[in-house]
Amino acid sequence: MIIKAANAEDIAPGGMKPVTINGREIVLCNYAGTFYAVERACGHAGARLERGALTGWILTCPLHYAQFDVRSGVALSGPVPKAPESAHADPADPALKTRALITWPVRTEGGQIYLDLP
């Protein structure tokens, strides 16, 4: 189902906008004039991703700095561990587990952003 999500002019390049559509919490991201839609909650601890930073196509969570590719939702890195007692964090530590984000297809037409939601 194709649904209007926002006006393209409302999201500057490098900007983000949270929207709720049919009960789904989504963040629209503008990477160099191309729009992407990812779930709003971080794949680590559920933080609101629009409060983070969008640098190019990399979305960084504001809470623990996990990073995601807005083009695919892939988790690029897990959260930054707390100050370690040792110099190296164990990557198998369950506290560092981060899942990919859900993404939705986006199209723009006539200055509007549309999402294809199942």
Question: How would you write the pLDDT of the chain (118 residues) with one tens digit per residue?
Answer: 999 999 999 999 999 999 999 999 999 999 999 999 999 998 777 889 999 999 999 999 998 889 999 999 999 988 876 655 555 555 555 556 788 999 999 999 999 999 999 8
Residue 59 within a domain: yes
Query: Secondary structure of the chain: what % helix, strand, coil (to 5)?
Result: 10, 45, 50
End-to-end CA distance of the chain: give it in Å, rounded: 6
Can you give the CATH number for the domain in which 76 is found? Answer: 2.102.10.10
Residue 64 within a domain: yes
Task: Write down the pTM of the prediction.
Answer: 0.86
Instruction: Look at residue 95 and give its three-state secondary structure.
Output: helix
* Overall domain count for the chain: 1
By residue range, what is the domain housing residue 10?
A: 2-80+94-116
Residue 3: beta bridge partners?
115
Residue 88 within a domain: no
